[in-house]
Amino acid sequence: MNTIGENLKLTVYGESHGVSVGAVLDGLPPGETVDWDEVRREMARRAPGKNSMSTPRAEGDDFAVQSGYCNGHTTGTPLAVMIANSDVRSGDYDDLRHLMRPGHADYTGKIRYGGYNDYRGGGHFSGRLTAPIVFAGAVAKQILARRGIRVGAHILQIEKVADRPFNPLGEEPAVFERLTRETLPVLDKPQAGRMAEVITAAKEDSDSVGGCIEAMITGLPAGYGDPLFDSVESGLARMLFAVPAVKGLSFGDGFALAAMRGSVSNDAMYYDADGTVRTKSNHNGGINGGITNGMPVLFRTVIKAAASIGKEQDTVDTDDKKNAKLIIKGRHDPCIVQRAVPVIENAAAWTILDILLTQGGRYT
């Protein structure tokens, strides 16, 4: 299905080279204002064609709100948005109807849909479908911010170049804001130049590189979420794994917890000056038993290198039923990590707002 959410539902539609992509946001509370210029800024962070480190496909990601907003406020009925596709070159993808891209969904999509899938630009499997996710999250971010909840992210790693991690006990809103203004959002600014060099080198070699994004949610009170199947981790995982190229997700110290004793990984608790329970560390990423504990929710996503590269690769020809060689034409990203940062942020924001609305009796 193309719909996600409990009380707050998001339906996404479209293909990379179709007339448009878009979404229906159902369940937004009535009476919320939206700063559309801020939504446009969020969309621009993800949009292609901004610099030499992304695909030259130039989409402005202009959007048209079709319903659900009147006289400066949400109405409480479905908010529908359309984002037109304009800069398409579908002819570049003619061969990909039968020559399958290694590492891409060409083959699995063809099998799943019996050969009727739209293969142009990756069709419904394209990163183009993250544009409506960013739109939805940009709306959710503003609603969350009015409740003191903020979401931020940065590039933790591209290939072997690493940024320093977030302070697990929290970052100031100004840090998140600064990151949204940067082409390569990092905490240790010199690392941005090194990451740019790695991306450029991959591009010149007709190749691509992946990386890791670290995200943080601050201001989320204790007590949200549920054990087992409706845990905060489960909700975020379902949304985040819908983002193309995400291949790994961890919370807090994640896989590093395997090497820690309980005396280290347990987050010691205390009452702060205003009587709020806090922890002295945040190895568990702000979640215990699937429920928020009041500390920042901290997670990391692994983004694999883009599948579309210019190097010759071994593949199969599904028309001839033979092995074949493939050199991919068209316009593609040598690295999608920097464009994925706002996607991860906004996907998380939408999920957190849904969790708050689902526990509606506590939503204020």
- Contact between 234 and 290 (Cβ < 8 Å): yes
Instruction: Give the three-class secondary structure for 307.
Output: coil
Residues in the chain: 364
**Sequence ranges of the binding site for FMN:** 124-126, 289, 304-308, 331
DSSP labels, 147-163: TT-EEEEEEEEETTEEP
- Contact between 133 and 156 (Cβ < 8 Å): no
Residues ≥6 apart with Cβ < 8 Å to 11: 2, 3, 23, 24, 26
DSSP classification of residue 94:
G
**Sequence ranges of the binding site for NADP(+):** 46
Residue bearing tokens 């991919």: 328
Instruction: Give the three-class secondary structure for 79.
Output: strand
d(C-alpha 41, C-alpha 39), whole Å: 5
d(C-alpha 126, C-alpha 101), whole Å: 13
Instruction: Give the three-class secondary structure for 275.
Output: coil
**Sequence ranges of the binding site:** 46, 124-126, 289, 304-308, 331
Instruction: Give the three-class secondary structure for 304.
Output: coil
Helices (H), 209-336: 232-240, 262-265
Burial class of 7 by CB neighbour count within 10 A (0 to 12, 13 to 18, 19+) = middle
CA terminus-to-terminus distance, the chain: 31
d(C-alpha 8, C-alpha 27), whole Å: 5
